[in-house]
Chain A
Amino acid sequence: MIYLENIGRYFLMLKSVFSKMTKWSMLRNLIFKEIDDLIIGSMGIVCFISFFVGGVVAIQTALNINNPLIPKYLVGFATRQSVILEFAPTFISIIMAGKVGSFITSSIGTMRVTEQIDALEVMGVNSLNYLVFPKIVALALYPFVITIAMFLGVFGGWLASIYGGFSTSADFIQGLQIEFIPFHVTYAFIKTFLFSFVLATIPSFYGYYMKGGALEVGKASTTSFVWTSVVIILINYLITQLLLT
């Protein structure tokens, strides 16, 4: 029952987020701040992970090709497919659920504990719009992060293949180009856009409705990470089923 109650409360929260908008001049500053915190602040870890995981995917693929009949360009092909279809949109989103999600939950949760949310409400501010809407708008830029993750993943794979002696540059690039389906990129961005909404709203939900003190803020962050990851995985499955089959 508690799950159903939470799902209902989540949708009621979304309704409040989009009602009684905060003054644009205030909102604009909040959006820029959130872009800095959530998008720019995540670039370092996203770039680092993308580059090295792309490299690992290329090496693993190369090491598992023993049959001489399998073309050499497969390393580039497998790297491209893995990075664009799953690694960049889904794997990075799970990492972001930990990094950005726990940041959102703990910052809103701390505001709840220290009565800052009550202060907003008493002043007549729609606290959900003030706190959550700028995060949704800021994370609408999340597909750009994923674009960079895709590029760096493939680049990391290329570098690892060439300098590790697993493939030639020509073979790798041939693999990147062969049987390229542009819709795969569209599919990746559709799910990335949905994940960005989940990344902004589920952690906000757990932060906003938490009760208790500092310990509960920590617990809420953990719960938010778990549920954000679960919802991302489920959406990933549904979108894949709907768009690629």
Chain B
Amino acid sequence: MIEVKNIKKSFDGVEILKGISTTFDKGKTNLIIGQSGSGKTVFLKSLLGLHIPEEGAILFDGKDYKSLSSKEQRELRTEMGMVFQGSALFDSMTVSENVMFPLRMFTNQAVSEMQDRVDIVLKRVKLIDAHHKFPAETSGGMQKRVAIARAIVMNPKYLFCDEPNSGLDPKTAIVIDNLIQEITDEYNITTVINTHDMNSVMEIGEKIVFLKNGIKAWEGTNKEIFKTDNESVTDFVYSSDLFKKVREVYLKELKE
């Protein structure tokens, strides 16, 4: 579980995060949504320790990140998996080497053991045939799956995804969403996803945090988001006619 307590973060005197508090539960897919510039990426990078908030605390299963020594912080980071927006795969390494990288870096396993683990996770993300390909030789969807494989190879406690669906076609986006949700359930990890994708919100948003201008404007589940009358949320989520209609149908069905 990750507890966020009133975190504030500024850049060049401009306050980006203005005191956000929330909780991300274990075994759930937690979504952070909001318009561009609402502070989602800064919030996610603060959770990852890439930005250190000026105020507030982030507790990982009760451990305050800021109060840990740098060695303890690095150890905690080995328990985190991250899927970056652009996948962030190492260009000079093959798919297999990319996935094996954290194992080579942080474990003393024999090569055969590491290879077995890589095979398991690549099989899990349905990429067993892509071992020897380089990232440039794979599609966007495959790169995302490699990034997920790399993120889970160390059995992380926390999985973070920054817009995992961006740049993907709708069908592949659903595959990635389902994969993340299945992995969250299987490994019982705390997953936090930063997304713009309303389909993800409806499908896998077990908890949704809506950010607006650096503050938490709303939080709830994907069921509650249909019923909320919070104007900021409805303006953002139901900005398209299609989603307005989906909402109307859902609410109508609920009344009946």
Contacts and interface: CB of A to CB of B under 8 A. Distances in A.
B103 to A, nearest CB: 11
B86 A115 contact: yes
Interface string A113-139: 011101101111100000000000000
Interface stretch (B32-40, B72-80, B193-201, B203-211): B72-80
Interface string B124-138: 000000000000000
A245 interface: no
Given A122-B48, A122-B80, A123-B77, A22 B105 contact: yes
Contact of A124 (B77, B91, B92): B77
Interface in B61-95: 70, 73-78, 80, 82, 84-86, 88-92
Nearest to A113: B86
B104 interface: yes
Contacts of B76: 124
Contacts of A110: 91
A224 to B, nearest CB: 20
Interface residues on A, range: 10 to 19
Nearest to B92: A33
Contact of B105 (A33, A116, A121, A125): A125
Interface residues of B, number: 27
Given A124-B74, A124-B78, A119 B104 contact: no
B106 A124 contact: yes
A125 B77 CA distance: 9
B220 interface: no
Contacts of B88: 114-116, 118-119
B104 A118 contact: no
- From B45, B48, B80, B88, residue with most partner A Cβ within 10 Å: B88
B102 interface: yes
A114 B78 contact: no
B14 interface: no
17 contacts: A20-B74, A26-B105, A33-B92, A115-B86, A116-B89, A116-B91, A118-B82, A118-B84, A122-B48, A122-B49, A122-B50, A122-B77, A123-B77, A123-B78, A123-B106, A124-B76, A125-B105
A122 B106 contact: no
Interface string A1-38: 00000000000000000001011011000000100000
Contacts of A116: 88-91
Contacts of B104: 23, 25-26
B84 A115 contact: yes
Contacts of B70: 20
Interface of A: 20, 22-23, 25-26, 33, 110, 114-116, 118-119, 121-125
B191 to A, nearest CB: 15
Nearest to A122: B82
Nearest to A117: B88
Contacts of B80: 122
Contact of B75 (A118, A121, A124): A124
Nearest to A23: B105
Lowest 10 A-B CB distances belong to which pairs? A124-B77, A119-B88, A124-B74, A115-B88, A122-B82, A115-B84, A124-B78, A116-B88, A122-B48, A123-B102
B102 to A, nearest CB: 6
A26 B101 CA distance: 9
A22 B104 CA distance: 11
Contacts of A25: 104
Contact of B50 (A26, A33, A118, A125): A118
Nearest to A33: B92
Nearest to A19: B70
Contacts of A23: 104-105
Nearest to B107: A23
A5 to B, nearest CB: 14
Contacts of B89: 116
A158 B160 CA distance: 64
A124 B77 CA distance: 5
Contacts of A124: 73-78, 106
Contacts of A26: 104-105
Contacts of B90: 116, 119
Nearest to B73: A124
Contacts of A118: 45, 50, 82, 84, 88
